[in-house]
Amino acid sequence: MNKYLITGFSGFVGRHFVEYLEKHDRICQVKGLDIQHPNFRFDHYKNVQISFEKIDLLSKDKVEYVIHEFQPNYILHLASYSSVAFSWKEPVQSFQNNTNIFLNLIDAARKLNIDTRILSIGSSEEYGNVNDDDLPLKEDHKLNPVSPYAVARMAQEYLSGVYIGGYGMDIVLTRSFNHIGPMQSSVFVVSSLAKQLVELKKSGKDRGSMVTGDVSIVRDFTDVRDVVRAYYLLLQQGRKGNVYNVCSGKGLPLKDIIDIMAKQLNMEVDIHVDPRLIRPADNRIIIGSNEKIRRELGWENTIPLEQSLRDVINYWESN
């Protein structure tokens, strides 16, 4: 029986990953770790046996104890302060947390000599600002992080390299581009925009106005249900020490995302950009190449963007 240790279990990616296991991995065990209790039930699955422990991953002794007791075959490291905006507000806390929780995790696995594969989740933010002729971004492109969050993710990659080369640990890495889907927190841009639009619609107006940050930036969006399928394949078949982009290979400005969702809601919207919502530095355009993960693992994104956005809208309409 496969045993999966999932950090950051209470987030929306962890929830979708468990749903994927339920449908595709037959009988397996999951140990969920998070600093917050999940706000969803996990006692109703037939194939996935789940236990949860509230834990601060900054506590080395607790991390070692859990790994020793559970003896995971796979570790999916989702835990982080994943908001770029938060990293600008609290750069020290964001950097120290994201770097040290990963270091505690991989060092515990090293000290205990656990035969486990670790999937280190990184970010497209590591690429930083690029030229149009660099697109789509491939894994061998030079990293140039422009936010505290992105620097921490790059440090996570470098730490992985040290533990792979120095200790022989089995770590596979991603640079995950923006992912979206139902149940995502409104801290994240598309979910926040969808929530605002649904609130405007429910107020009885067919035309409204919304305040945003910079909607000209271009991002590469992938449905979370395609993302967790990529993570599963990488845990099973990814090459040790390799980095894989997880992305759609297509980019859209946030303005176009708003227009698509407004059309789905049969409404018109006026956008007002608030300079206070613009970050001190931001990547102007991020579009990735998914050629490597398609070639090596046969993965491809299957859920159209329009369907993802419709599902996000449906989620906020129900909540």
Spans of all domains in the chain = 2-180+221-248+289-297, 189-218+251-287+303-318
The predicted structure's pLDDT at residue 167 = 98
**Which one, of 269, 250, 268, lies nearest residue 308 by Cα?**
250
What 3-state DSSP class applies to 143?
coil
pLDDT digits (tens, 9 = 90+) for 231-253: 999 999 999 999 999 999 999 99
174, 120 in Cβ contact below 8 A? yes
Over residues 181-199, mean pLDDT: 94
Handedness of CA 202, 206, 208, 212 (dihedral sign): positive
* CATH 3.90.25.10 is held by the domain 189-218+251-287+303-318: yes
**pLDDT band (50, 70, 90) for residue 19:** very high
* Cβ-Cβ contacts under 8 Å for 35 (sequence gap 6 or more): 54, 55, 56, 57, 79
pLDDT of residue 68 exceeding 90, the answer is yes
Fold of 2-180+221-248+289-297: Rossmann fold (3.40.50)
Give yes or no for a cis peptide into 136 (omega within 30° of 0). Answer: yes
Nearest-10 Cα torsion for 148, 153, 154, 158: 130
Q: Token match 């801290």: residue?
A: 187
pLDDT of residue 279 exceeding 80, the answer is no
Looking at every residue in the chain, the average pLDDT score rounds to 95
pLDDT of residue 274 exceeding 80, the answer is no
**pLDDT band (50, 70, 90) for residue 148:** very high
* Cβ-Cβ contacts under 8 Å for 210 (sequence gap 6 or more): 193, 196, 197, 200, 258, 269, 270, 271, 272
- pTM (two decimals): 0.96
The predicted structure's pLDDT at residue 208 = 80
The domains spanning 2-180+221-248+289-297 and 189-218+251-287+303-318 adopt the same CATH topology: no
Share of the chain above pLDDT 70, in %: 100
pLDDT of residue 280 exceeding 90, the answer is no
